[in-house]
Each structure stands twice: as C-alpha cells, then as structure tokens.
Amino acid sequence: MKRIVECVPNISEGRDKTKIQAIASVVETVPGVMLLDIDPGASTNRTVITFAGEPEAVTEAAFLLIKKAQELIDMRTHKGEHPRQGATDVCPIVPVSGVSLAECAEWAHRLGERVGRELGIPGYFYEAAAKTEERRNLANCRKGEYEALDKITSAAWKPDFGPDQVTEGVKRSGITTIGARDFLVAYNVNLNTTSTRRANAIAFDIREAGRTLREGDPVTGKPVLDASGEPVRIPGTLKAVKGIGWYIEEYGIAQLSLNLTNIHITPVHVAFEEACAKAAERGIRVTGSELVGLIPLQCMLDAADHFLRKQQRSLGISESEKIKIAVKSLGLDDLAPFKPEEKIIEYLIAKKMGVQDRLVQMNLIRFAEETASESPAPGGGSISAYVGALGASLGAMVANLSSHKRGWDDRWEEFSEWAEKGLYFQRELLRLVDEDTRAFNRIMEAFALPKGTEDEKKSRAAAIEAASKYAMEIPFATAELSLQSMEVMRAMVEQGNPNSITDAGVGALCARTAVLGAVMNVRVNAQGIKDKTFADSLAQRASALEQQAEKLEAAIRATIASHIGGA
C-alpha cells in the first residue's frame, strides 16, 4: 500500500489573499506533495490548508510552510474570532494509507524539533504526538492564546521544542502546536424531515457526548447535577463521534452533521447504520448521506465489505465495484453525483500527480500496440506479470461464481476468501507490469551516466550493478506471486463451480506461463551482475519456482482431464 499522509496546518491569516497564496504555494515546491485545498475565513482571520503525499515529502513541505508563515505573518497585530497563538497555529499530520498514527507522531516530533532548531519558534506536541497527557488536548496547549505568550517561560509550560524565552522573533511568530491525529471525516446524514429539533434529538442519541439528563421533560426540564455541581450526561451510542442536527435551506431537508474523529473506532458505515436505526425509532427515515471534504479509500472499501457481508456476497470483487457498492449503500449520491476521483483522497492525489502506472492504465488495444512497437519496453517481464494477473483474475472469477452458485449459499464465505486471495495476486502482479518496465529503464539510465573521471566511472558501475540486481528481483517477485496464485486455481478446479473448471484451468496455464517467462528474465538479467553470489542464489531459487509451477500445472490439468476427458 502506498504510504500517504495528510497535513492540515491552520495559519493565522484569512484576509490577505496574496499572503495566503504565497504561504500555501510553497508546499508544491516539494516533489510528490499535492496541495488539495485552501479554505480561508475572513472573520476568523484564519486559513486551513490541506496537502498530502508521502511522509518525508509532506514533513518537508510543512516545514517550508511554517517558515513562510513566520516570514509573512506578524502575530503582534493579529486579531480574529478563532482561538490562536501562532503564525502557524496548529499543524497536524494525519495517516491516510500505509502509515500508522504512531509513525505520524514520530514525523511530528521530527518536524517540531527542526522548527525549534532552525526557525527559533517555540511549540508543543499535541494529541498522539503529545509528550504529556495534559498536552494531548489542543485547547490546553492553546490556553490563554497569543496574549499568554509568556507562559513559555514557566516550568509548567516549557515548550516541547524551540526557545523558552520571549524574544522579538517569538513575539512575531507566536507558538506553533504540532501533532498527529486520526483522519477526521465530516459526514452528513440526510433525513426525510425538515425538523431541526428532531434531527438534533437523533444526533444526541448517537454522538459520544450524548445529552444532558433533565428532570421531567427531557428538553425543557431542569438539568440534573452531580455531586460536584456539573450536569449529568446521558452518553450517546457511538464513541469518537461529535454531532448536531440542522436544516439545510439548499436541500430543503434536515441533516445530522457528524464529525467522525476516529474512523478506526467508529467507521462511516457504522455511523450510517446507527443513524438509520435511531431515526427509525423516531419515525424518521434516512434517505442518504454526503461527505464534506475527503475520505480515505480504506473507509469506502470497509463500508463495501460490511454491506457485502450483510448480503452474503463475495468480498473478492474489484475495487471499482466496491466503491459503487459503498456509494449506493450509504446513499452518497442522494443529493448530488458522487465522484470518487474528487472525494477519495488517494484518487485525488493520483489525479493531481498524473497516473504513474502508465501501462496498466492503457486499454487492451493500446497495450498490445505499445508492446509491438520498436521500443524494448514493455518486454517479456512486463508481459509475464500481466499474464500472471490475468490468471489470478480467472481464479477470482471462478471463486466469485462459486460463491454465488445456487444451493451453495452456506459456502459463500469459503469462496469469498479464495476470491479475495485471487484479487490480491491480481493487484500485486498488475503493479509489477509497470515496475518491470521501470526496472529496465533504471538500467538504461545507469548506462547513460557520465564516465569521464575515475569517480564517475565508479559511481556509474555501482549504479549499473544496483539497477541490474533490481531488474532480477522484479521478475523473481513476478514468478513467486504467480506460483502462489496457482493455489487459487487448484482450489477452484477441485472445489469450485464445476461449470467453470476450464476457466480455472486457463488461469493456471496463464500463471505457469508467467512463472516461466519471469524466470527467463531473472536468468538473462543475472548475466550482467558482478556479484555472482547474489546472482547465482536468486537464479537457483527461480529455477525451483519454475519446477514447482510445472508440477502444479500438470496436477491441475490432470484433475481437469478427469472431469472433461483428454490427456
């Protein structure tokens, strides 16, 4: 899975468009970082900037943004409705895919330490990056706001990074709070009512904070107080959810406005199902929902899996089909068309960066034409990976057909697991289609390096050796995955829908071809490697894969022959 994090710094400028643009634009000077959104607020005098990419690049972009904000924003003259204490007031790093919250906290620490060391800005770490429990809450870190700047000189609020004295530079920059938090999904649920009061009642049923316990009438009654004089609360049913009800003039309906602050605790589909249940208890029907902002791909896939399980259907279907299931099940197209490429953060990043996997995005005719062209790539390695992907696809297809076969309803989970395995091999092998071509190109780039001096010759030779090793490793991975995928086809030949036994057989033939073709490429690329221990070891392991593939293919063909005849 591609490693992606989101960064959402809030800067203390919401009125000067020139300054805002100058600050936001620095993030795109870092290769691989995508500026996703700029949301200024005049009354708050604050702008929320959103960008994403791989952790290293995003952390570098965040540093440059904080530096530019320090140059252009003077906190000594700042006024606004939103609480604030720094030019870059807060800067959270948020995991999107392939990165844990704990890793984001580590990146936040690196960023903060660099901000303190190089820019002389004091600050605190909050939420998952907090060094103490008291500083986990952002409101605690920002208590007193900019006007309490001298708190950094106290022992209790000594900064986690940067100076602990109020210099002229600190007066200008203020305090920056850097943290790591989970992805927050802003999610609205549509109701078939215009009543804000009833929508609020449902929101209070659901949200973690619940509602205040009152004497007599639950709305107008006197609040019940605890021993310390604080109102007693009736908690809602969902953790990590904030919410209210409101009426939207634009749509002419009431909605539940929910913030899902930890999608691992309460995913989108759980919030939707609970909203449906609580609305029904009050005689109200949920008609759909809408996303405000972006959502991680995994949230959509998890929602699709949830609804597929409820239908006792195979989970081993394509990603695009799962997105359709999620959209329809959650009613995300109730108010307006849902465009995955604009609402799913990974898709939006890919769209902005341009498609990197050039070959697998081609249609069949274009791919065949590109292969037949005078260019040496794509070559046998890429084609082997693609043939392997086709084989795995056939295995997944037979598993899905078996899962859906009349009379086999009690076996749907068994076949769903096989289909998911088939789809895993398909995805990995498709990735290797382009990766094999990139590996070939790396060799060509290494050979093109200058060789005028002894140092240049050494660097060039090292680059050629490294690229040649990589060009062995990629087809070896293709062979290994293709062999593993044959277990899916064997299972489907032996246990799957008998009407599709030959489809699984063709899948096995494709996988075996992929193994043999990839092994050829391992051997040919071994010839240019000077490290013979490495080359010989990998070539021997590849030969073992080849033998296993041929043996497994023969066994599968024999099973098929026993059913349909033939040698």
Q: At what angle do helices 380-403 and 501-526 cross, to 10 degrees?
A: 160
Query: Are 279 and 285 in contact, with CB atoms under 8 Å apart?
Result: yes
Catalytic residue among 205, 434, 436, 503: 436
Distance, CA of 4 to CA of 19 (rounded, Å): 28
Neighbours of 364 (CB within 10 A): 7
Neighbours of 28 (CB within 10 A): 14
Question: For 120, left (φ over 0), alpha (ψ -120 to 50), or beta?
Answer: left
Beta-bridge partner residues of 288: 190
Residues 6+ apart with CB under 8 A from 21: 38
Whether omega before 378 lies within 30 degrees of 0, making that bond cis, reads yes
CA dihedral of residues 308, 311, 312, 318 (deg, nearest 10): -30
Catalytic residue among 16, 82, 164, 334: 82
Compute the half-sphere exposure of residue 559: CA atoms within 13 Å on the CB side of its CA. 21
Query: Are 38 and 293 in contact, with CB atoms under 8 Å apart?
Result: no
Please give the structure tokens belonging to residue 515.
């193994």
| C-alpha pair distances (Å), 435 with each of 356, 526, 546 | 10, 18, 21
What amino acid occupies position 364? L
| C-alpha pair distances (Å), 235 with each of 40, 160, 253, 281 | 34, 35, 26, 17
* 436 catalytically annotated: yes
Which position has the token pair 């590849």?
A: 542
What amino acid occupies position 92? P
Please give the structure tokens belonging to residue 14.
């919401």
What sign does the dihedral 480-486-491-497 (CA atoms) show? positive
**Strands in 195-313 per DSSP E:** 211-212, 233-234, 241-248, 253-260, 286-292
* 82 catalytically annotated: yes
Mind telling me the catalytic residues? 82, 436
